[in-house]
Structure 1
Amino acid sequence: MNTETMPDSVESTRALLKRGKYVSDQNLATMLFLSLKLGRPLLLEGRSGVGKSELGMVLARELERPLLRLQCYEGLDASAAVYEWNYAAQMIEIRLAEQDRSGDKDGLAGELFSERFLIKRPLLQALEETGASAPVLLIDEIDRADEGFEAYLLEILSDFQISVPELGTIRAAKRPIVVLTSNRTREIHDALKRRCIYHWLDYPDAAQEAEILKLRAPTIARKLTESLDELVQELRQAEFRGGAGVKAAVEWAATLIELDREEMDPKETSAGIAQILKRHQDGEVNAVADALARGAE
């Protein structure tokens, strides 16, 4: 695999992201560059839909590295995130050994807890990647996991190693690039934050939004770009629950392009708002659409 050279400056980091159709500001590019340069995890916090997970995926694609993604959820534990033993295979091995009475029972005990019976999950896979380059490890929505799982991550994030009682300590031959994301549904513990380069990622401003639309939907008409940009900015100022995400805005732009629209039809504004906010086209959505239409008059 021919891996892309790591960026050697903030500007080259920004350019790398832009090649992947990801628009970043100077602050984000700086934090990402420091994370790559220092070999430390990058923790991105921000509201849903601002592009936190997308950054990790773009980084893997543009650096031509494998992506390992761990989606966090309540109750996530080591068996789903790090490793577990293949108990079914171990039981078969025991049954076979019982039939072979000449077998070495002491040797069997050690064999049962060898790597042969180890099922590797994303965190362990990231440390044991044997390819040309270390992978990008995306730990998504860490705030959804329990605090106990955060504590488990500390060894991995600080020393890039995992302790498996039956096997000992497994260390990364090549440090993975680690990106963690959080929607801040709860406060992340300071111990985890101290092990990371931290950045709060906000919604893009109007100029950045227009640039994103041009990159992701290059055939979009200028007037339509301006109308969509204005609509999205208005929705964010209204602070709807869930927010007007960047990806949803791009999807609505693609829809309008497929419908051969060169400008926003006021009759479709409610549908557009519902699509961007990912919610039912109810009275509140229609009221916002009417208010925006009156403001444009």
Structure 2
Amino acid sequence: MNSIGTLWVFGMMLIICADIFSRNVLNHPLNGVPEIIAFSIAGTIYLQLANTLHAGRFTRAELLIEWLEVKRPFAGCVFNSVFNLFGIIVFLIMVQGFWGEFSEAWRENEIAGVPGVITFIVWPFYLILLVGAVATGIEFLLRFVREITGAGRALRNPSGRASATKRGYGWLIALAAFAVVIYFLTTAELTNAQIGILSIICMLILIYAGMPIGIALIVLGFCGIWMMKGNTAIAERMLPQAGAEYMKNYFFGVVPLFVLMGLLVAAADVGKETFQVARWAMRRVRGGLGIAT
């Protein structure tokens, strides 16, 4: 899946570059490129999500969680288990939403594009999202099982380090207290401004604790909608839309072009040589190295 996604990204680069050339040189844009790129953005992301998670490349703050994993392995495993559990829940909701979108598109033979110019069926796109979400959810499940197993091993550790302090019970109590406070706050009557402030505070806490930033933002968005609307069904419908519909934007096609630019700069050593020229030009200026940088 990751290889397919990578090849798809390169294909998007070629299509975008061909469209730019056709627009500016031939004064004739390629038909359907915005629609194809818009659908491709979300497709390539979901094809590569599971492998990204498997490689441990989900962005997160590691200041606290790495310390826990080394110094308090039991607490570290419990923290990671909780984070992975949230990931499982998030992608279960996404799978449910994508299945509905796929079923509807399949049943009604839904098409996208510009009628009379270029059109294409969209159920393969939703199928890709569904498969990617399922694979990512399974990867979260495997990581959850692995962390639970690691917590069991750390708890049975016969060494002298297996004291309450070394196990990190204090951190676990803090985590439980945070969960209890959030539970009572979600059941309280809060204004939208108070919900926003609470979300910012929780975002900082969860990110600092080591939850993957994407999962933390999704969870907080879900809870925020739930608290404002008082209905989890609305939040459940919004989650798949945020995970797919809002990413179907042609302007996100600039991301693969930045990737291509980075590859060219790295392969040609342009960045290194540019820095050397700037350093030479600023060699007689105080702070020249900083200016060159």
Larger RCO, structure (CA 8 Å, separation 6 or more): 2
| TM-score > 0.5, shorter chain as reference | no
Normalization by structure 1: what TM-score?
A: 0.24
Normalization by structure 2: what TM-score?
A: 0.24
